Amino acid sequence: MITRFAPSPTGYLHRGHAFSALTAFAAAREAGDRFIVRIEDIDATRCRPEYEAAIFEDLAWLGLSWESPVRRQSDHMADYRIALDSLTARGLAYRCFRTRREVVDAMASAPHGPQEAFTGAALPAAEEARRLGAGEAFAWRLSLLAARDELGAAWDDLSFVDEIAGPTKARPELAGDIVLARKDVGVAYHLAVVHDDALQEITHVIRGEDLFEATHIQRLLQALLGLPKPVYRHHRLVMGDDGKRLAKRDKAETLSELRARGVTAADVRAGLCF
């Protein structure tokens, strides 16, 4: 069993991150196998070196150890470009020039309402060339229609195993035509994560249940890129006193703040049932 903890250095870790890291670490250690830390720092506008340094400090404080060197995604953009080129060369990705607002508006005007996933299509060649010549921003999007055509009958057989939810049929259509990369960013989350999980031979992806839905589209990308299918475990989320899940954006108390007020690593582990 090879597990991983893959945080984004966009803020400081809190108890929810600790629970996820400890869960993945414990699973690998119980199996007598490997635990990997990966830094997912493709969002250059939000990631900070001080957050990355704090991640390592917090994990070490919790008593975790991991393999070196640690893979930092920003150092490997060329790898993701190869994966993207594979999809575009087969007609599985297209340039989408719609803004985020235009995508939201398109979903809102869909026949079944705002909950309907976004799907689009490549522009006519002349129009695309005009927009590219004008320097307009675009995103590379995965074409679900083209993906369904390429997979044929195998589309209906897409599935994954979650150790908590059990065997699950993958429904990538729920996500729509996801962004694979943007003009100013070499790769988006879904493409980078499936690439790296395969590269690092991750056998068990252990993460929060808030990422369960992401697994549907990631399973499709694995099939399209010929990547192995790991086993998943989407664990419970850690809640605050207000009953809401802990989140960076809500300024959940960080591990460094807990440490500063005298809380020990043993206290944190015990509070999380480790």
Say what percent of the chain tops pLDDT 70: 98
pLDDT category of residue 246 using cuts at 50, 70 and 90 = confident
pLDDT category of residue 111 using cuts at 50, 70 and 90 = confident
Which H helix or E strand runs over 4?
strand 2-5
Residue 12 pairs with which residues in a beta bridge?
Answer: none
Q: Count Cα neighbours of 64 within 13 Å in the Cβ-side half-sphere.
A: 30
pLDDT category of residue 99 using cuts at 50, 70 and 90 = confident
How much is the average pLDDT of 133-143?
Answer: 94
pLDDT category of residue 245 using cuts at 50, 70 and 90 = confident
CA distance readout (Å), 155 to 92, 159, 169, 227, 228 = 14, 9, 10, 15, 16
- Report the alpha-carbon distance of residue 20 to residue 3 in Å, rounded: 11
Which pLDDT score, from 0 to 100, does residue 239 have?
Answer: 87
Q: What is the largest CA-CA distance in the chain?
A: 64
Phi and psi dihedrals of 138, rounded to 5?
-150, 165
